[in-house]
Amino acid sequence: MQIISSPLEMRAACKNYQRGAVQQTIGLVPTMGALHEGHLSLVRASRQHCDRTVASIFVNPLQFGPTEDLARYPRTFQQDCLLLEQEGVDFLFAPSPEDMYPQTTETVVDVPVTGGRLDGASRPGHFRGVATVVAKLFNIVQPDCAFFGEKDAAQVAVLRKMVRDLNFNLNLIVCPTVREPSGLAMSSRNRYLSKQERVEAETLSRSLCLVADVVRQGEHRTQVIREVLRRELAHSGLLKVDYAELVDPRTLETLEENTLPAATLVAVAAWIGTTRLIDNCTLRINEASI
């Protein structure tokens, strides 16, 4: 695995495969490092779909608010390199903040409506940071496919919109959420949790399972389902709910209708101590699934 920090060198390396006599497809897996099985599932999907895989590790300062956890975000670069190497990644793109944002940088990518909902409402500017860095990664690597986790469903909605609006020529492939045996969605931020907090954190996935069950049993009234979700989340004393919403998976707009449409994104975010966790499931009528 070749490790590259310069955007120019990364572009040149990809160009070799894209312009060679035998053209090869490139898959991109953007991450912020502190890798776990969720990230590795994206790498495996890329290895299946594409000839070459580029993984990136970049803790993107632009997507953190001034009071958020940028400084203490877990960084495990050596371990991450070993894991990516074992998975057969061809290139690791690991730029510094200065490589990605030279002092003269002005341009940002904003998806203001979709990107202002859910985490975009709680974390102003977050999705502007995400869209900007992902657009830059797309331009540097020019992948045929880019792989993202369903775990960050709002991020997926924002990036799908950006890809469509800006005519990016690539396939955005979304992979299922990888969970701990307890149901807890894997996340780099789970490292912040104490033993007791980890148990409380399971309330998130449990509440989503409950909602999926309720829908499977025939309950289709959005108001009732929202109440079931919020009541279950409220059981936990340690959890401070940020949002618990039923939204349109494409636009992230809160559902106003009284009955469930064909597809509904149930999205939750909560604070456990100083750690903010998110989770979600998609309800499909006749096939409630988590």
Q: Which of the following is catalytic: 36, 39, 49, 126?
A: 39
248: left (phi over 0), alpha (psi -120 to 50) or beta: beta
Q: Is 117 helix (H, G, I), strand (E, B) or coil?
A: coil
Whether 49 is a known active-site residue: answer: no
For residue 269, state whether it binds ligand AMP (rule: CB under 6 A): no
Pairing status of strand 91-93 against strand 145-149: unpaired
For residue 151, state whether it binds ligand AMP (rule: CB under 6 A): yes
| Least distance in angstroms from the C-beta of 130 to ligand AMP | 8
Neighbours of 27 (CB within 10 A): 28
Nearer to ligand AMP, 38 or 249 (CB): 38
The pair of structure tokens assigned to 289 is 């699934």
Identify each DSSP E strand in the chain by its residue range.
2-4, 26-31, 52-57, 91-93, 145-149, 171-175, 239-247, 263-272, 275-284, 287-288
Among 162, 185, 252, 281, binds ligand AMP (CB under 6 A): 185
Among 7, 27, 39, 275, binds ligand AMP (CB under 6 A): 39
From CA 142, how far away is CA 20, in angstroms rounded? Answer: 15
Among 4, 26, 28, 31, binds ligand AMP (CB under 6 A): 31
| Least distance in angstroms from the C-beta of 124 to ligand AMP | 19
| Least distance in angstroms from the C-beta of 189 to ligand AMP | 8
Q: Identity (one letter) of the amino acid at 78?
A: Q
| Least distance in angstroms from the C-beta of 150 to ligand AMP | 6
Look up residue 208 and give its DSSP letter.
H
Among 58, 73, 91, 148, binds ligand AMP (CB under 6 A): 148
Instruction: Enumerate the active-site residues.
Output: 39
Q: Which residues bind ligand AMP (CB under 6 A)?
A: 31-32, 38-39, 41-42, 148-149, 151-152, 175, 177-178, 185-188
